[in-house]
Amino acid sequence: MPGIGVIVNIAAVLVGTAIGLVFGRLIGDRFRSIAFSAIGLAVMVIGAAMSLGGLADLRETRLGDYAALVLVGALVVGSLLGEAFRIEYWLERFGLWLQERAYRAPLLSPGKADQPGEKAYTLVEGFVTASLLFCVGAMAVLGSLQDGLGDPSLLFLKSLLDGIAAIALATTLGAGVGLSVIPIFVVQGAIALAAGAVEPYATPAVISSIEAVGGALILAIGLDLAQIKRLPVGNMLPAVFLAALVALLLA
């Protein structure tokens, strides 16, 4: 059945998040801090590997040595657009809106956040981190395409990996990780539904560009989780779409 892979992916993330929230409440602040650093380091490695791999694959296209310019240009122009539209601000507002409506929820956050802003920040950080990890990459794009064409096997594998990652992320980032099912449903669901029409445009160059820029954003999230440097990743999100567009037109 077309779309079953997306449904399984969503279920896996929700189950993983629920397990992570339960375990997260059993972990003390000292252990949660080191868990943040460890997860941040892991996310940095994943992001760097994804970005470098995507960039290397992009260099094999007609862009050649200009592939790096696509990465730099998309990040700079995309970040400027995101800043102009204040995407980070609206993401934080979204987190506050959710927090205000779930203020009394016992599983809202695994941490001991006494202020609404702290919980809202956890929601936003968990949402953005998980959304990028789960929605950016070859498995998300190709798996959704295959699912729409009747073969959900790749998304089943992705679901297993995402479920395990959701456990680890929810342990430290809280319920916001579960909100990533919204972009999973929208992005992967849309690709699966439009598989026949989208497949010709999902060229290797487009997928490589998404991985190159998306990996860089995931690396930035890792810097934040490891408490090294917080970058406005939300404002950089348009860079992913710009890179894909450039690759589609020029590669």
73-112 pLDDT, tens digit each? 999 999 999 999 998 888 777 767 766 665 555 544 444 4
C-alpha span between 123 and 40 (Å, rounded): 17
Compute the mean pLDDT over every residue in the chain, rounded to the nearest whole number.
84
3-state secondary structure of 227: coil
Taking residues 205-230, report their average pLDDT: 88
Residue among 43, 74, 45 nearest 58 (CA):
74
Residue with tokens 């919980």: 119
Using an 8 Å Cβ cutoff, are 119 and 113 in contact?
Answer: yes
pLDDT for residue 15: 96
Are the CB atoms for 222 and 173 separated by under 8 Å?
no
CA distance 251 to 117: 44
- pTM, two decimals, is 0.77
User: Domain segments of the chain: what residues?
Assistant: 4-250
- Over residues 21-46, mean pLDDT: 83
Give the separation between CA 13 and CA 78, rounded to whole angstroms. Answer: 28
Q: What is the largest CA-CA distance in the chain?
A: 55
